[in-house]
Structure 1
Amino acid sequence: MSDPDARPRPQYGEYASESEQRAHIREPLAEPAPTPLNPPVAPMRPALSYEAAAPVDPARAARQPDRIVTIVLLVLGALNVATSFFSFLDFATMVDRSYVMMGVDGSFSNFAAGKTWGLISALVLVAGYIATVVIARGRMKANKLAWFIPIGGAIVTFVVLMACVSVPLMSDPAFVEYVTSNAS
């Protein structure tokens, strides 16, 4: 075997001690003096964060279709909330239009309950949408599947809305007459 001391000791690299490495880092190699064959070069500036290509996270890339579907469903929900909100605030008119489509004889006459429960329904609609957006956004940020959150939020909100709407309808004489006459 050869004598390890016979080899020249490197000044840097894997064989250099930690103190030699630190000394080399503090004192970089001197650059050669400029000559006609070696013109001065401007020092390189560090790359800005937006210039560096960000590494692609495969799990995030795999969730891209889920994100698109979730966002599309949330946008459709926002359109539904925007168009339905004012209908609930004018509850009597909304119910009268429904009565015409259903073939109910008469018109909605429980105005006080309709106004109260219409406002409650409008607030439930907005609260349900906001809760859905918050939960879906949280799942998307955590890189988890989220497409089913807008669907589930719509179903839960719809069930609560139907409970709110049924309160004034069940005390409206025209609706009660329609239900009892069609029950037999």
Structure 2
Amino acid sequence: MSDPRPQPQYGEYATPEQQRAAMGLPVAEPVAAPAVDHPKPPTAPATTVGPQPTRLADRVLTAVLLAYGLVTVVSAIPQLVDFTAFAETWMDVAGVDGRFTNTAQGALWGGISAAIFIVGWLLTAGLSWWSLARRRVTWWIPLVGAIVTFVIVSLCLVVPIVGDPAVARHFATGG
């Protein structure tokens, strides 16, 4: 019966002495243990987990990023709730002639966007605090949370803006 396992690679099962001999290095002489005349008292077992660093800079940066995100979310909510004013400001900046008339869809998607901002920040803050409690590097979580939330909110805001006749006419005529 043949062995279905693959053959071991060079040195895979070799002892350190065999590896040294194959490399042409002198084989180390085994060190004899010193003779013990008296019994030693028992010692505490070695711990496997050393002290973890506090990562103060990571904690401060995470808190600052979460605070900045909270200010951004709180300041964006009134704009999203009054979506018509938000869309008209956007149309002025983009150079679109006309007024925003897709108000029903704007109110719906503005509310959805505000809710996504809130939920996104809460999830980001929760994951950040959970990671901080486990003493992991955390500063990147608020950044990734902000990017993901902003992309989703931006997609939600595009729906009513592109659905407005003035905006559609602007893009159809090439501006």
User: Is structure 2 residue 69 aligned with structure 1 residue 69?
Assistant: no
5 Å-filtered alignment, 1:42-121, equals: 59-61=52-54, 63-121=55-113
Instruction: Give 4+ residue runs of structure 1 displaced > 6 Å after superposition.
Output: none
Equivalent-residue separation in structure 1 for 2:51 and 2:90 (angstroms): 50
The superposition leaves residues 103-134 of structure 1 with CA deviations (integer Å, 9 ceiling, x where unpaired) of 11111100110011111010000000000000
Match of 2:35 in 1: none
RMSD: 1.5
Match of 1:142 in 2: 134
Query: Whose helix proportion is higher, 1 or 2?
Result: 1
Query: How many residues get paired?
Result: 127
Q: Structure 2 length normalisation: TM-score?
A: 0.69
Unaligned runs of 5+ in 2: 1-40, 42-49
Equivalent-residue separation in structure 2 for 1:86 and 1:116 (angstroms): 14
Equivalent-residue separation in structure 2 for 1:126 and 1:97 (angstroms): 23
Match of 1:131 in 2: 123
Equivalent-residue separation in structure 2 for 1:107 and 1:91 (angstroms): 13
What fraction of aligned residue pairs are identical, expressed as a percent?
34
Q: Structure 1 length normalisation: TM-score?
A: 0.66
Deviation at 1:88, TM superposition (A): 0.4
Equivalent-residue separation in structure 1 for 2:163 and 2:78 (angstroms): 22
> Does 1 or 2 have the higher relative contact order (CA < 8 Å, sep 6+)?
2
Larger radius of gyration: 1
Unaligned runs of 5+ in 1: 1-13, 15-56
Counterpart residue type for residue 53 of structure 2: R
